[in-house]
Amino acid sequence: MNLVIGCDALLIEQSKLIAEQSNALGLEFDGSDRSSQYAILYDGMLPIGTARLTLHGKCVIINQLAIITKYQADEQVHFLLESLIKYVRRQGITRLEAHTTDEAQAYYQNVGFEFVEQVDVVGHFRLSHMRLWIQKRELCQSP
């Protein structure tokens, strides 16, 4: 597996395609799309997973994490999250934030994220705010 991170139009389009094929909850593309970076997870030449990274000061928000349904397995999710953590650490980021479903919360906790609070209910899914401190605890600018 290989992870590519950037902000060009091809990565944005691949991200949208993966989201459509993953049955992901409420993935909507908004005004932050063009100012965010996109991570695309490839299995060989095939794009199978995505996440959007939005920078707020020394904090990065992970949004729209999705893996195409037939490729969803623990090792792909773990690889994607671990790779994102390594990437933001190299960028000097202080912390990662994410909103995730109860179903996906264990994946985040397995790589070091902590539960912060219950934030919302979308359809039949409860969303939890998760946080991972990468470096010393500094305040991020509010999104």
Rounded to two decimals, what is the model's pTM?
0.79
Superfamily of domain 2-133, CATH level 4: Gcn5-related N-acetyltransferase (GNAT) (3.40.630.30)
Q: Residue holding tokens 């994607």?
A: 80
**pLDDT band with cut points at 50, 70 and 90 for residue 29:** low
Q: List the one residue out of 100, 107, 97 whose CA is nearest residue 131.
A: 97
Spatial neighbors of 1 by CB under 8 A, at least 6 apart, are: 41, 42, 43, 76, 79
Cα 83 → chain centroid: 11
pLDDT digits (tens, 9 = 90+) for 47-86: 888 888 998 888 999 988 888 888 887 788 889 999 999 9
Annotated domain spans of the chain: 2-133
- Measured CA distances, 54 to 63, 70, 73, 80, 136 (Å): 8, 27, 25, 16, 20
Helix (H, G, I), strand (E, B) or coil at 29: coil
DSSP-derived secondary structure letter, 22: T
d(CA 114, CA 49): 23
